[in-house]
Structure 1
Amino acid sequence: MNTTQSLAGSAEPARSALDCLLRPRSIAIVGASPQFAKVNGRPLRHLIAKGYSGRIYPVNPKYPEIAGLACYPDVAALPEAPDLAIVALPARDVEACIAALGRRGVAAAVIFSSGFGEMGAEGRQIEQSLRACADAHGVLICGPNCLGFVNAFDNVYATFSQYADGDTGAGPVAFVTQSGAFGTAIAALVRQRGLGLGYFINTGNEAGVTFSDLMLAVIEDPRIRVAAGYMEGMRDGPGLVRLAQRCAELGKPLVLTKVGRMAAGVRAAASHTGSLAVEDDVFDAVLRQHGVLRARNEEQMLDMLEALCSDRVPQGTGLGIATQSGGAGVMMADRAEELGLEVPALAPQTQVMLARVMPAFGAAGNPVDVTGQFVANPDLLLESVVTLLTDPQVHVGIVWLQLMTAHVDLLVRIFCQIRDRTDKPFIICWVAAPPEAVRRLRAEGMVVFGAGERAVEAAAAMVRHRQALRVAAEQHAERAALAAAVARVAADVRGNGFRDGVQPTVQAAGWLHAAGVPMAPVALARHADEAVAAWRTAGGPVVLKIESPDITHKTEVGGVLLKLNDEVAVRQGYATLIQRAVAARPEARLDGVVVQPMATGQLELVIGVQRDPGFGMVLMVGLGGVLVEVLKDVVFRRAPFSEAEGLRMLDELRMRALLDGVRGQPAVDRAALAALLSRLSVWAAAMAPWLEELDLNPVLVGPAGPVGVDCVMVLGGPKAG
């Protein structure tokens, strides 16, 4: 997509096509109508009514003028090449219009028209032709099948959305949505909260610019502080990662809601990673890896936006709670712990200061129970909250109260005084608050919710964003070193003779060992005598495993025998495995039996790599060995990543306590595990053209560190062979 196309014949410095799209100085409306209630009439009405200061050119051969503006019969008749064209034509006429716009030198177009990819196979062909036409003529397109967009800062209303009918005062939030109707509903809710959208953009079918392209463009606007998006599908994984990285560099939170969380998305796979890599789980993990905040639904998105629009940032994870109700305080403390926030015990000096202002029947711990006594003594609430927020272990506060309809003026004044006397963020949770109170507090720039758990979740979003910025700075510093490591490994592996399909165990283990991934030694025996020789070389008990490119889950056919330590047992074991394989899978190709020294460990992990269609190479770690698909305690990351990111993966496992040792077992070496994960991620990124999937299962973790004892590697990329 040519996003640097400049206006033809312009004497001005070249402007990017995205800038012409989003901040046009002149707009043509192709298919314009004087009937302002129609889809093709609404943009002109909005541009005039909202005070757009640029030049407007209606295009329609039916009318000599519309709303006092000269109307042109076709694109070629325009007196100049406008920055932007709004195309409101039947689908059959759109491609010819785009070609005409390109010949006239128009840089960008937003296409309202439907009847493209959303209509099925025939529509997709029409859309592909439209995309090719736009590329050939150098026109950047938004849509088709979209509502268009609003740039409220510059009064650009290239839309027919109902959202534009009301007050669209500019604000610090940029909102990009793949859904028109649902996106409009979210935008209306943003307006109700008084947050203000600087940009409202519907991407439609994304035949040209994508969700990520548009969000990347608008977050550069210094007037935007928070980015929000609604997604129905993920079409550009690398673009989404670049977006997340850029948001982190700018320090701007990115909040996304994506539907389809429970989509199965699972295909038959040779590896556990392949069978467990549900599309949404991978999406969620990559977002978390890159600091994106994910909201479950539109209401949680709005809660996060309201909190993140605050100009105050928590410097740690400590939550201080002040409440009228002890029960509400306990409920919020429970939810805080579930979300990884701390509700710290207050410092002795804080408790002394609280005791001076609290009633005898109040509670000066954390949560602080101020009771309803503050109505008679307003200083009680004021001083209690200010004191709570001065505690060094408290980084964000929540103040909970209910009803108080007769005391709106008093409470608004108290909250303003609290704001002025502290520099830490705090959230007001006012249950059944009078609407006037909410309106006045939000006008003062304060964050107000009507339920305790919503307040805690919003506080957690503020904390997670701050933590994500620290991680992002670390990742930025590591990026060049990781890229260099991937390049070195890629140079090493290019000379290997790759073939499609499941790779021989000995070869696969050798490649991983060379990449720094600890692997148990393996030998292939093609007959019983070779198996006995390998056992003698091992010098102790061995494992025998059937070796076949057609049998990847060996235990399912009885293809593994353990602890064999004499010649007779090894010979018999070899024969047994061959017989079992032939009986269970008579069509399978048999290469022999792998002989491997017995390895021991106190814990079994599964580690794998899968080529995700959206994000590329994705690595998984999980607990459970052969039971991993039952337990499903797994964590994903996009490759490559650092050892620090590997440590964070381990911390996300539900059963991570097992890593610290249970029932007298010593703790595992987390650093060694993280190093394995990082090295494997670098190797996987280098192998991206060839690697389809990889399974190390189990990886045994013992006193000597982790070691992979079984390996399934499948190659089949576009360059395989």
Structure 2
Amino acid sequence: MRKLEQMLSPQSIALVGASKNLNKLNGRPLKFLLEKGYAGRIFPINPNYESIADLPCYPAVSAVPEPVDLAVVMVPARLVPDTMRDLASASVPAAVVFSSGFSETGGEGAALEEEVRQIAREGGIALCGPNCLGLINSFEGVMASFSQFANGETPPGPVGFVTQSGAFGTAIAALARNRELGLGYFVNTGNEAGVHFSEVMEDVLADDRISVGAGYLEGLADGNWFARTAQKALELNKPLVVTKVGRTSAGAKAAASHTGALAGEDAIFQGVCDQFGVIRAPDEEVMLDVVDAFASGARPSDSRLGIITQSGGAGVLMADGAEERGLTVAALQPDTTRRLKQIVPAFGAVGNPVDITAQFIAEPEIFRDSVIAVMDDPAVDIGIVWFQLMHEFVDQLMDVFRAIREGVSKPVLVCWVAGPADGISQLRELGFPVFRSASAALNAAGAAARFGKHRAAWESERNAAEQPLPSPVDLSGKGVLPAMETFELLTAHGLSLTPSRLCATAEQAMEAAQALGFPVALKIESPQILHKTDIGGVVLGLADSDTVRHGFDTVMQRARAAHPDATIDGVLVQAMQTEPSVELVVGLKQDPVFGMVVMLGMGGTALEVNPDVVFRKAPVSEAEALRMLDQLRGRGLLGEVRGRPAVDRAAVARLVAATSTFAAANADQVAELDINPVLASAKGARAVDWLLISKGGPRR
């Protein structure tokens, strides 16, 4: 039994505050339940009536002589606490509270909402709301909502939709209906004083009748739960498609490390989506485009696209747009090309895109056979068919697509520009997703390919033995850790750091340089000086003992001049890497929603000017770290460039994975870690500079 079974699929419903006027907001749920054929028991609750719509009416839920699974609360906010106490005394397991006037109104409302939250928690009531439109389970006619959406047809379908916004959620649901996308569930979580988005979505996806989840998000109460829900969706092979607002929020405030400064809320949310296979849509139209493809069963294992059109121009347009959506225009095999030459008119095109021309109107078999030939090609994972108008040829087209449905097992998306409504409906009945433009079809195909590849990776990696986390270390109260203490700590956890020694005198520095090998770098070490280069506290490329002595004196003088009161611990002497390398940055950040996250990006001056970074929730595997590298805009610099050999990507992945494992083991201890730069070369990846800040200690 699902955790929210009695909320989402109740056998009995009490309507608290029900009205005799079924057109009023507090009368609509009863009207909808009766109209949609809800088969369970309905109990109107209102002390002013003996009956409503020929049903016995009770003064309170506690007076109902039978068990109640779900109570729909439709009373003013001030009466909600007493109503919830009545539900608790009657052992009602779930409630939907429509009432507004809670935290969305400010102080007093927030206090009232907290009271309701406590009553629900103590009474064991799964609470949806308050300030919500409620929920619809169209499979079973559960209409625990006053939404306008319930006024129209609510045919069941494979899409489970959960939204934090009521009005905008209703608009999305109405758009889905216009596209003939059946919503099996519509749930508005409102203020989330009880159940939240991820909790509801997890239960919705657990229904075997649902094959895709869709959601509208404004914020997350529990990032860990969201990640678990996404992982469960992957396991079930049910794509989760979300639109989340707040993409350009200010995010993290100024922080001591680059990681802290760059870890904006939206960047981390995007990283978690990428990590766990969640498809993020920028708006409601793209969301429904993507959901349309998934609802039809599109689950390609890779991203190689086959394009069949009646317009050469449309084919070129789609080929241009494919790459930016993560698609590859497949190179058709010679056997396929030869086969197409026997089908397509000589004035058409048999490459990919395939242009069958308008000749197919006279010879529909050209259309049919071309699509089947392209989709038979082993190099093609997903197809898009483009055509326009055809109002007078709907019947012939349906015959063609019936044959395609029978002859093709791979996903085929249809772009029918300015097509007739009846034709589009018939095509949807055959199981094909239909799109209004090439761009919409490409968005859907790209998203389907991304999910398919992520699912395939999950399948191949899920049986890999999970490595146990190391024992946590005690960092309590330390704040910013000294460089050498951090060195010992991180190297013990498997990170590769450049050999270093802390020296208090110039003589010690010269001895250290001799032992480490020239050239060396010198860096001032002080609890009060975090950004050493800003005060000239770093000198590089020292090739002999004399330059080391002079360099030691120089950085000490600069540090004392810039910070006369600073405590100077000494100078760090480090061996310098001489082989050609690329600068990267790796970091950790404690996020209030998702907990410990790991960052990977291009380092050096680019980090200051045009940050190129990606985030994941810690820990990550080495395979996931490689996918992080693939997401960087500057990933091309990791390959062979002007005679410099390619970077050892596997070494970078090991360093990132080890950093994230350290983070996960010490999530209660670490506030931030900045490793910048990491020098990645053909010989490996080694950290050159690092800054570790623990929780609860003094900040430098």
- TM-score interval, smaller chain: over 0.9
Q: Which residue of 2 aligns with 1:12?
A: none
Counterparts of 1:427 and 1:592 in 2: how far apart (Å)? 66
Q: Which residue of 2 aligns with 1:6?
A: none
After the TM superposition, which parts of structure 1 deviate over 6 Å for at least 4 consecutive aligned residues?
A: none
Counterparts of 2:389 and 2:297 in 1: how far apart (Å)? 28
Counterparts of 1:300 and 1:507 in 2: how far apart (Å)? 50
1:367 aligns with 2:353: yes
Q: Which residue of 1 aligns with 2:558?
A: 580
Q: Which residue of 2 aligns with 1:79?
A: 65
**Amino acid in structure 1 at the alignment position of 2:558:** R
SS in 2 for 1:477: coil
How far 1:106 sits from its partner (Å)? 0.8
Matches within 5 A, 1:25-424: 25-424=11-410
**Amino acid in structure 1 at the alignment position of 2:671:** E
Match of 1:697 among 670, 676, 685: 676
Counterparts of 2:339 and 2:594 in 1: how far apart (Å)? 53
How far 1:231 sits from its partner (Å)? 0.3
SS in 1 for 2:466: helix
In 2, are the aligned partners of 1:689 and 1:718 still within 8 Å (CA)? no
Counterparts of 2:680 and 2:47 in 1: how far apart (Å)? 76
Match of 1:552 among 530, 533, 540: 530
Counterparts of 1:399 and 1:196 in 2: how far apart (Å)? 23
Match of 1:502 among 474, 480, 494: 480
Q: Which residue of 2 aligns with 1:652?
A: 631
Q: Which residue of 2 aligns with 1:631?
A: 610
In 1, are the aligned partners of 2:169 and 2:216 still within 8 Å (CA)? yes
Moved more, 496-505 or 327-336: 496-505
In 1, are the aligned partners of 2:2 and 2:206 still within 8 Å (CA)? no
Moved more, 169-178 or 697-706: 697-706
Residues 184 and 586 of structure 1: is their aligned pair in 2 closer, same or farther, counting only changes over 3 Å?
A: farther
How far 1:311 sits from its partner (Å)? 3.2
Q: Which residue of 2 aligns with 1:533?
A: 511
Matches within 5 A, 1:568-607: 568-586=546-564, 588-600=566-578, 601-607=580-586
Q: Which residue of 2 aligns with 1:18?
A: 4
**Amino acid in structure 1 at the alignment position of 2:662:** W
CA distances 1:385-410 after superposition (whole Å, capped 9, x unpaired): 22121112112111111122222222
In 1, are the aligned partners of 2:479 and 2:698 still within 8 Å (CA)? no
SS in 2 for 1:481: coil
Residues 719 and 504 of structure 1: is their aligned pair in 2 closer, same or farther, counting only changes over 3 Å?
A: closer
**Amino acid in structure 2 at the alignment position of 1:408:** V
Residues 425 and 124 of structure 1: is their aligned pair in 2 closer, same or farther, counting only changes over 3 Å?
A: same
Moved more, 192-201 or 587-596: 587-596
CA distances 1:373-432 after superposition (whole Å, capped 9, x unpaired): 111222221222221211121121111111222222222222222222222221111111
1:436 aligns with 2:422: yes
**Amino acid in structure 1 at the alignment position of 2:18:** A
In 2, are the aligned partners of 1:690 and 1:718 still within 8 Å (CA)? no
Counterparts of 1:55 and 1:241 in 2: how far apart (Å)? 36
SS in 2 for 1:320: strand
SS in 2 for 1:357: coil
**Amino acid in structure 1 at the alignment position of 2:333:** A
How far 1:371 sits from its partner (Å)? 1.0
Residues 554 and 224 of structure 1: is their aligned pair in 2 closer, same or farther, counting only changes over 3 Å?
A: same
In 1, are the aligned partners of 2:309 and 2:357 still within 8 Å (CA)? yes
Structure 2 unaligned segments of length 5 or more: list them: none
1:514 aligns with 2:499: no
Q: Percent identity?
A: 52
In 2, are the aligned partners of 1:603 and 1:702 still within 8 Å (CA)? yes
In 2, are the aligned partners of 1:312 and 1:423 still within 8 Å (CA)? no
Counterparts of 2:253 and 2:299 in 1: how far apart (Å)? 43
SS in 2 for 1:213: helix
How far 1:17 sits from its partner (Å)? 5.8
CA distances 1:641-691 after superposition (whole Å, capped 9, x unpaired): 111111111111111111112000011111111111111111111010010
SS in 2 for 1:350: helix
The number of residue pairs the alignment matches comes to: 698
SS in 2 for 1:419: helix
**Amino acid in structure 2 at the alignment position of 1:665:** R
Moved more, 566-575 or 496-505: 566-575
1:481 aligns with 2:459: no
In 1, are the aligned partners of 2:603 and 2:676 still within 8 Å (CA)? no
SS in 1 for 2:463: helix
Counterparts of 1:249 and 1:65 in 2: how far apart (Å)? 48
CA distances 1:170-199 after superposition (whole Å, capped 9, x unpaired): 111100000000000001111111111110
Q: Which residue of 2 aligns with 1:461?
A: 447
How far 1:259 sits from its partner (Å)? 0.8
Matches within 5 A, 1:659-678: 659-678=638-657
In 2, are the aligned partners of 1:560 and 1:577 still within 8 Å (CA)? yes
What TM-score comes out, normalization by structure 1 length?
0.94
In 2, are the aligned partners of 1:291 and 1:472 still within 8 Å (CA)? no
Residues 51 and 555 of structure 1: is their aligned pair in 2 closer, same or farther, counting only changes over 3 Å?
A: same
Counterparts of 2:568 and 2:99 in 1: how far apart (Å)? 58
Counterparts of 1:17 and 1:320 in 2: how far apart (Å)? 43
**Amino acid in structure 1 at the alignment position of 2:164:** Q
How far 1:506 sits from its partner (Å)? 0.2
**Amino acid in structure 1 at the alignment position of 2:593:** G
CA distances 1:80-113 after superposition (whole Å, capped 9, x unpaired): 3311111111111111211111111111111111
**Amino acid in structure 2 at the alignment position of 1:363:** A
How far 1:624 sits from its partner (Å)? 2.9
SS in 2 for 1:531: helix
In 2, are the aligned partners of 1:501 and 1:549 still within 8 Å (CA)? no
RMSD, matched Cα = 1.8
SS in 2 for 1:562: strand
In 1, are the aligned partners of 2:16 and 2:45 still within 8 Å (CA)? yes
**Amino acid in structure 2 at the alignment position of 1:154:** E
SS in 2 for 1:333: helix
Residues 332 and 679 of structure 1: is their aligned pair in 2 closer, same or farther, counting only changes over 3 Å?
A: same
Residues 313 and 563 of structure 1: is their aligned pair in 2 closer, same or farther, counting only changes over 3 Å?
A: closer
Counterparts of 1:400 and 1:717 in 2: how far apart (Å)? 60
Counterparts of 1:474 and 1:235 in 2: how far apart (Å)? 31
How far 1:225 sits from its partner (Å)? 0.8
In 2, are the aligned partners of 1:640 and 1:682 still within 8 Å (CA)? yes
How far 1:699 sits from its partner (Å)? 0.8
Q: Which residue of 2 aligns with 1:641?
A: 620
SS in 2 for 1:455: helix
How far 1:718 sits from its partner (Å)? 9.7
Counterparts of 2:609 and 2:303 in 1: how far apart (Å)? 33
